[in-house]
Structure 1
Amino acid sequence: MRILSILAQKPSSTGSGVYLMELVRQFSLQGQEQAVIAGVYEEDPSPFPKEVLYCPVTFKTTGLPFPIFGMSDEMPYESSRYRDMTPSNRRQFADAFLQALDEVVASFSPDLILCHHLYLLTALVREHLPRHRIYGFCH
C-alpha cells in the first residue's frame, strides 16, 4: 500500500511529530511505501529514512513568511497561533500545502492519505481531493 502522511507541523519535534515518526517506522516495518508532507524550517534536516518520499513545506520563506502554526499557544519551536491567522496567511498556507500535495499525489499516487489533526489542513486536503481515501487523526 502507498501511504501519504500529512502534518502541518514539524515532524519529530512534538508529541504529534513523534506520533507521525512512529507511524512511519511501523509502516516501514510492514513494507508499506510512504510519503510525508510536513511543515518545517529551512534549517531542519529530514528525519525520515531515504526510502520515504519527503516533501517539506518550508515556513519563514517568501511564500510562507511566518512561523509554523502550532496546535497549542506554546510550542517547543518558534510558532504562530491558528487564531492569529489572517486571510492572507490562510491563502499562503493553503497554496503551499496544496502545491506540495499535488506534486506528491502526481508522483506517488497514494492509496491512502493520513492527515494529522482536524484543523485547517485536513479540511483543505479533503476539499482538494474528494475522491481519495483520506483519514483524519485527532491526537
Structure 2
Amino acid sequence: MYLSNHTIKKLTNLTDHNWPKTLIVDDCSHNRNHSKLVELLARYFNHSSQKMRFYKGFRMLTLGWPDGATFIPVDFSLLSSKKSQINDISSKIDKRSSGYKRRVEALQTTAEQIPGKIERAMKTSVDASYVLMDY
C-alpha cells in the first residue's frame, strides 16, 4: 500500500488538476479450474463471460486509483464463498497468524470489506474525493 501511495503522489503532479480524484472498487474472477486441494476454493458462476458457465476459483476484490491513463492497485483481497465452498480452512494454521486472518477475511462479503479498504487507503494519505463501484 505504501508503494502504491508513493507512486500515486508522483503521478498526481503529472495529472490534470481538474481530473476528479477517485478510488475504484472492482471485482473479477480468479479461475483455478484445475485445482482440487486449494484452501477456500469455491464454485462460482461467471455471468460476465460469453460462455456463461461455472468455474472453480476465487473472486478478486481490488481497490485502485485511476488518473485517466493508469490504474494503480491500492488494496486487494481474494474472496471465497461460504455457501459454495469446495475446501475449508486448513486446521493446521495457527489462529494468531496473519495468514489465518487473511483466510477469515476471505470469507467476508464484499460489502463488509469495502469500508476497511477505503479506510486503510485514506490512512496512508491516498488523495481521493469519490469512490466508484459497479455493483
Q: TM-score range by the shorter chain?
A: 0.3 to 0.5
Report the TM-score, using the length of structure 2 for normalisation: 0.33
Looking at secondary structure, tell me which structure has more strand per residue. 2
Looking at secondary structure, tell me which structure has more helix per residue. 1
Q: Kindly name which structure, 1 or 2, has the bigger radius of gyration based on alpha carbons.
A: 2
Higher relative contact order (CA 8 A, sep 6+): 2
Report the TM-score, using the length of structure 1 for normalisation: 0.33
